Amino acid sequence: MKHAALTLPLLSVLSLATLTACGGGDGSDSDARTTAQPKATASQAKPAVDPVKELTKLFVTKAEVPDYTVAEPAKGDAMAETQQDMRVDKAACAPLAYAANYLPLGDPEASVVHVANDGTFAYNYITLATYTEGKAEAAMKGLAEAVSSCTTGYTAKSDKASTPYASVKKETPFPDAAADESIATASTVAYKGTQTMRTQTFRFGDTIVNYFSIDSNGFMKGQSSSAKVPASLVKAQNSKLH
């Protein structure tokens, strides 16, 4: 495997170390009514709910996971910014490529990504996505089919780089009685040994949360590594989606 072809979030290995927390306040709107106008006019109607803002409110905070810093990924961190930027040699494997590059699955109404880090070289990307009726179920079905179809691997490409995944294995997801569906995977890349990345994906109604974990230390030191999705992080984040 050529060094130029090595990516994953390998494009992000160096930039991840410079992550800074980003925050923003959320305003509230009032709906004024008068006795002279019992029905609200268009100018009085409350603004439409911003799904991106609503999803952002659902991310775990430092207070909820004190061992982690949770922030937006650095700009330019991703191998592909959108699904359209990602190309896969086996079409059926596209959902896996999305999950392993913290892109949303399927056809979401909105999605937001944050990354949680505990001060080591292990990075845990959390992608929250919301869907219109039926599309979250379809997205999970596509991921499940990809896991079954792509056990021997696939190659994901973008204009930035190419990542050949050597294998994909279905694993047992963390138990969560409140989740409607859940899928877990381990994917490998052959680079100076074997680099194993993991995902845990849960659906709660019309919302999907995908966790993608990578240990960049293995890539940088040229030794095998095996990332694990932290159970404590999943438990804290999932509890906000019930």
Please write the tens of the pLDDT for every residue from 148-193. Answer: 999 999 999 999 989 999 999 999 999 999 999 999 999 999 998 9
Task: Give the total number of structural domains in the chain.
Answer: 1
Beta strands in 34-79 (DSSP E): 69-71
Q: What is the pLDDT of residue 34?
A: 36
Whether residue 227 lies inside any domain: the answer is yes
% of the chain at pLDDT higher than 70: 81
- Region 23-40: what's the mean pLDDT? 39
**pTM of the full predicted structure?**
0.83
Q: How many other β-carbons are positioned within 10 Å of the β-carbon of residue 183?
A: 21
Please report whether residue 186 resides in a domain: no
Q: Is residue 196 part of a domain?
A: no
Considering the domain boundaries, does residue 22 fall inside one?
Answer: no
**Domain assignment of residue 219, given as a range:** 3-14+50-172+204-239
CATH number at residue 85: 3.40.1000
Does residue 83 have a pLDDT over 50? yes
Give the per-residue pLDDT at 45.
Answer: 67
CA–CA distance, 37 with 34 (Å, rounded to integer): 5
In a domain, 71, yes or no: yes
Structural domain includes residue 40: no
pLDDT of residue 157: 95
User: Does the structure show a pLDDT above 50 at 15?
Assistant: no
CA-closest candidate to residue 70, choices 15, 14, 126, 13: 126
In a domain, 88, yes or no: yes
Extract the tokens encoding 191. 């680079």
Taking alpha carbons only, the member of 212, 213, 208, 199 closest to residue 238 is 208
Domain for residue 185, yes or no? no
SS3 state of residue 72: coil
Query: What six digits make up the tokens of 141?
Result: 């079905």
Q: What is the pLDDT of residue 183?
A: 98
Quickly state the pLDDT bin for 43 (edges 50, 70, 90).
low
